[in-house]
Amino acid sequence: MVHRRWNLIYNRFYEGQVSGVDAGSGGNAGAALGSDAPALRAPHSQVPALGVCRGPGRAIAQAGAAANAAAESKGSDDLQRQMNLIADSEEGEVLVVDNQAQIMVQAGEDILSPPLEKVLQRAANGERMNDVVGEHRVAVVPLIRKSEFAGGIVFASRSSENVLYQLFLRSGIEAATIASVLGGGLALVLATLFSRRVERLTLGARAMGQGNLSSRIEPGFNDEMGALAKTFNSMAEQLENSFLQLEEKGATLDAILNNLTEGVLATDLKGNMVFINRSARVMLGIHDEEPLRELPNPFADFDLPRAVARCASSQECGEARVRDEQSFLQVRLEHVPAFDNHRGGVLIVIQDLSEGQRLEANQQRFLANTAHELKTPISTILGASELLLTESKDDPETRHRFLNHIFSEA
């Protein structure tokens, strides 16, 4: 309803549709407001030319619409509601001032805060005004209610430059807000994708670090993260092949060491067992297949742990021969220098000399028996030969007997 009233007054005031309104002199203010108020003429400069519908004329038209609505309002609540509608339609401020320069109703934005005394006084005097005060456009028209002067209406709005600035500022803020929301959403999506790819890389690297070299990482896109995933996969494949080769070499070395006739032991610098083969277990009387940590000391006449400690600390190693009830062993110690991450240790090689000793004893017995068997016939031959040489008589029978004896003994 208020908008229709404002449009009617606006058209009548600026487009010359009200009879008796003179654009040159300002016309009858009471007729312009659609009331039967006495004629109030405004200065010539305060009435816009016919057909102008924007700029300063818009403020005076809003003030006139507010005066017309205030004249027809019924009660304070209706007055406040209609002033709010008019103020909100143009985002301005409407003040209803009585003839004592007191504000009866305030509606809309706080543009004139606080209102200027001269503006309120002009409204109370029933004067008309359409001017720029500070940065705001202010229009004042008289208020006629029931054919009596009741004060004035003050309408304040932002200047056109300020309105444009506010529009541009609001548009800029809205555009920045939209750009921020879109950019934030895009950044969130990208961050989520990136974090998931980083998480996959982390899980794959952790699996490889825990020894699962068969684990592979899905590269995804062909970018830097994809190249990093491919590098991880290539590294894992190479490590897997290297570990397989090491396992094969370790298995081959274990097979060789476990099939040696010599006993082989290895300890660290503190004397803790690192390796022992099957032959060494048999020679040392160890029948348990569980891994050993402490070095055994099975010999009565040789302290093996003490010899290992001396070899590890001062590198005084050497060898020793030990005997028990059934075997005769040769124990040789070698110091192992530090290399890579290995801090060094002691290598112990035990050789069983029992079989060799038995063979040597048998050989000596054989040679003694052989010498004894050879000594008896040789002595007989030598004796018979001496008798033949020393016999002065040429007795054929004696010579024949001794010769037969030499032949049979030989």
Q: Where are the beta strands (DSSP E) in 39-167?
A: 93-97, 103-108, 129-133, 136-145, 148-158
Q: What was the pLDDT predicted at 236?
A: 85
User: How many helices (H) and strands (E) in the chain?
Assistant: 11, 10
| Least trusted range by pLDDT, from 235-249, 279-293, 381-395 | 381-395
Statement: residue 212 has pLDDT above 90: no
Q: What was the pLDDT predicted at 376?
A: 66
Average pLDDT over residues 145-169: 76
CATH number of 2-158: 3.30.450.20
Nearest partner of 143 among 88, 95, 81, judged by Cα: 95
| Least trusted range by pLDDT, from 40-49, 175-184, 359-368 | 40-49
Class (C level, CATH) for 260-352: alpha beta
Q: What was the pLDDT predicted at 179?
A: 92
Average pLDDT over residues 157-178: 74
pLDDT in tens, 298-325: 888 888 888 888 898 888 888 888 887 6
pLDDT in tens, 2-50: 444 444 444 444 433 333 333 333 333 333 333 333 333 333 333 333 3
Percent of the chain with pLDDT over 70: 72
Q: Is 152 helix (H, G, I), strand (E, B) or coil?
A: strand
CA distances for 135 relative to 85, 111, 122, 156, angstroms? 23, 10, 19, 10
Q: What was the pLDDT predicted at 171?
A: 86
CA distances for 304 relative to 139, 263, 317, 383, 397, angstroms? 117, 14, 11, 60, 75
| Dist. CA 355–CA 359, nearest whole Å | 6
Q: Model confidence at 92, in pLDDT bands (50, 70, 90)? A: confident
Q: What was the pLDDT predicted at 166?
A: 62
Q: Are 74 and 169 in contact (CB under 8 A)?
A: no
Q: What was the pLDDT predicted at 21?
A: 34
Strand order in the sheet with 93-97: 103-108, 93-97, 148-158, 136-145, 129-133
Q: Are 229 and 220 in contact (CB under 8 A)?
A: yes
Q: What was the pLDDT predicted at 344?
A: 83
Beta bridge partners of 191: none
Q: Is 312 exposed, middle or buried (0-12, 13-18, 19+ CB in 10 A)?
A: buried
CATH fold match for the domains 2-158 and 260-352: yes
Domain 160-253 has CATH 1.20.1050: no
Percent of the chain with pLDDT over 90: 6
158 phi/psi in degrees, rounded to 5: -75, 150
Q: What was the pLDDT predicted at 198?
A: 83
Check residues 129 and 214 and name the one with the higher pLDDT.
129
| Least trusted range by pLDDT, from 154-163, 188-197, 335-344 | 154-163
Check residues 192 and 378 and name the one with the higher pLDDT.
192
| Least trusted range by pLDDT, from 71-85, 106-120, 141-155 | 106-120
pLDDT in tens, 334-361: 888 877 666 788 988 988 877 766 676 6
Average pLDDT over residues 176-192: 90
| Least trusted range by pLDDT, from 32-36, 269-273, 391-395 | 32-36
Statement: residue 72 has pLDDT above 80: yes
Check residues 9 and 384 and name the one with the higher pLDDT.
384
Q: What was the pLDDT predicted at 56?
A: 64
Q: What was the pLDDT predicted at 32?
A: 36
Please state the domain extents for the chain: 2-158, 160-253, 260-352, 369-409
Name the pTM for this structure.
0.39
Nearest partner of 317 among 326, 299, 300, 304, judged by Cα: 304
Amino acid present at 129:
M
Average pLDDT over residues 223-227: 82
Q: Across the chain, what does the average pLDDT equal?
A: 76
Check residues 69 and 111 and name the one with the higher pLDDT.
69
